[in-house]
Amino acid sequence: CCSVGDAADARLVTAELGAPFYVCNFKKDFGRIIDYFVDEYASGRTPNPCVRCNDWLKFGKLHEYAKTLGCDFVASGHYARVDRSDPSRGPRLLRGVDRDKDQSYVLFGAPRERLREMMLPIGGFEKPRVREMAREFGLPVFDKPDSQEICFVPDNDYASLVEKRRPGERREGDIVDPEGRVVGKHDGQHRFTIGQRRGVGVALGYPIYVVNKDARTNTVTVGPGEMLEATSCVAREVNWLVDESRFADWRECLVKIRYNAEPVRAKCLISVADDLLKIEFAEAQRAVAPGQAAVCYEASEPDVVLGGGWIDDVETPR
């Protein structure tokens, strides 16, 4: 959705459909997402720019622009669904039918009122069927390859992007073991992610993982896999797509701690005054990374997205 090629493809599709075609230049606004991405890595966190893009642009600026055109809805190609079966309850965000492509996780931050304006027409289909329909409708993008990369990091070298925009981040630092002993050197803590195993450049005689990072001291801590296990976490910038009063006390739910993770059983509690979401996992979870989103789903209806927040603090077993 962000390249010249994508805009050209969209123009071909609208020509086939006989629909008006508009191009929105959100370059300045998109710069905010890149700045966020760089700032998060520089501060030792693991960002998720796709969620921020949805929050700020697709379900922010784009919806505002649509209203200037007199549009009542904005349709997007996300693999998720909006349930409007009960008007008294209001619309609900649901997981996509294609579990391998489900994108409900990246939509949790959309304002609740946006659900009334959303149309997610492919969320009820498997991806192969969507391609078949595109072919049947004569759309020239039916066989367009899937993109697995961050759109503004086309070569997947995010560390170089960080260093280009923050030259001071590339500097030598220590790799330490759980006892704080220096076991190696690195070229910047931003080059590592929590849970990383490959490419650490250190051997301790047993499988090791990146278990912590300290941006202030530019230190990376490595250790055994069990050090990655978290029993709970706290998330901020909380956004709810249902009535948050339902979480005035601890409530059973399912939680996803990253995009490609399966929802796991947990208990959630919100602190409205502090804008916090507290999560206790039924079983310890590995590599719960500050900067990622924690998204809650209804325990009794696992397809229903309740809301979520941005992981800020993680508690590990002592």
**Residue found by looking up tokens 């998330």 in the block:** 235
Active site residue 151: yes
Strand partners, 277: 235, 270
Distance CA 135, CA 84 (A): 29
Active site residue 268: no
| Catalytic entry in 24, 50, 71, 151 | 151
Contact 226, 286 (CB under 8 A): no
Distance CA 115, CA 294 (A): 20
Shortest CA distance to 191 belongs to which of 168, 163, 167, 165? 163
Q: Beta strands 92-95 and 182-186: pairing type?
A: unpaired
Contact 277, 270 (CB under 8 A): yes
| Catalytic entry in 50, 53, 233, 268 | 53
| Residue 145 tokens, joined | 């390859």
| Residue 277 tokens, joined | 């979401």
Q: Which residues are catalytic?
A: 53, 151
